[in-house]
Copies of this chain bind each other. A is one copy, B any other.
């Protein structure tokens, strides 16, 4: 089992104390987190540091950014062997209108879609919205 430390190294991110904390916090969460979520989790950390941490995580393929339509960016860890590539790695997301949580549906990859001549697809964002499993049973 690879340690968080080693994983960050492998991805080309210097594993500082703060970065490790953020990484572990993301790993522990089953939902996508906003910058503010993370900020609240570590009262001592500066917003900018966290912002830049997420930015470098994203650039180095540690996390992927999720746009769930709330207008606020969320982040979730990439899967172990992820390259953030279309139809291979990119998966659907589900945003619950009630609890406002967004989860990765990692089992559901983005389906292939045929577009008109001339359109070159490089990336995709698919978000389903409604009630999540926890909220629909209430």
Contacts and interface: CB of A to CB of B under 8 A. Distances in A.
Contact of A126 (B94, B119, B125): B125
Contacts of A108: 113, 115
Contact of A125 (B71, B113, B123, B125): B125
Given A71-B71, A124-B127, A126-B126, A133 B113 contact: no
28 contacts: A67-B69, A67-B71, A71-B71, A92-B113, A94-B119, A113-B128, A115-B128, A117-B133, A118-B132, A118-B133, A118-B134, A118-B136, A119-B130, A119-B131, A119-B133, A120-B131, A121-B129, A122-B129, A122-B130, A123-B128, A123-B129, A123-B130, A124-B126, A124-B127, A125-B125, A125-B126, A125-B127, A125-B129
